[in-house]
Amino acid sequence: MRTIMPPSRQRFAAAMAALGITGLANGDFELAWQEIPLHHLPGYTVIAYVCAVIELAAGIGLLFNATLKLTCRVLFPYMMLWVLLLEIPIAIHSPQDPGAWGSVGEIAIVTAGAWCLFAVQAGPWRHMSIAGGSSGVRAARCLLIVALPMIGIEVIADAAHFGNAVMPPWLQGLPDPARWAELSGLGSLAAGLGLLFGVWPRLAAAMEATMLGIITVVYWGPDLYTGRTAITAFIISFLITAGAWLIADTYHGVPWFATRRPVWSDRTEGAA
């Protein structure tokens, strides 16, 4: 019987491939890397192209059963290196900057999605360490739980600092725009708590992924015509959304309003 590919994996694959295509088209790193002084590295352009090829190949590889296992084995460590070597050092250097920690949270959500794929799809490798199997799925959920407060606090802090200007011009017509931004930040915090303590975890994960998808379309979508920066931001936001959906899918079969044990003691079911 032919297995139907989950839509969450399709979205993740499409976004990863699109990120690689933008890198190849521009011969440069995507926006998430720009704060690193990579321009001083020898072979900067070559490294940029290599990363773009990895991302494009990963996006394509996730679509086919013949390449799925190998792709998951490559993509997961690639994303872990992205977080550990590029995002966390910036946050440690600026510990009081919510934006730096928000960037960590965003890429951590993508990494959680890649981890989930590895745990479920990496074949024999997934049984070789705690990164695979049910332990890996649980760890991926925990990474999402850690990431959600980072992005939630960043949004709330930006709303407090910029006021209504936190929203783009096409959303300025909303009543009290800053409050909508704060509401999305509080939503991420609430979703994290729900997942942490097992309070309606499937609903919490699905609501968070849905909210991120709405933000991608409404916040970034109307600006796509302006060029590279907006296009790359849209793709990364879409990739973050897809990562959240991959985690949400691990709760498939759990009743929407079920109350479970806290995530650290809960048994997991992979669905990626």
Any idea which residue has 């977080």 for tokens?
83
Number of neighbours of residue 3 by Cβ within 10 angstroms: 6
| pLDDT digit string, tens, across residues 209-250 | 999 999 999 999 999 988 888 898 999 999 999 999 999 999
Residue 63 vs residue 271, higher pLDDT: 63
pLDDT beyond 60 at 269: no
State if pTM tops 0.85: yes
**How much is the pLDDT for 205?**
97
**How much is the pLDDT for 147?**
97
- Write out the DSSP string of 6-69: PHHHHHHHHHHHHHHHHHHHHTS--GGGTTS-GGGSTTHHHHHHHHHHHHHHHHHHTT-HHHHH
Domain ranges of the chain: 7-249
Q: What does DSSP assign to residue 263?
A: T
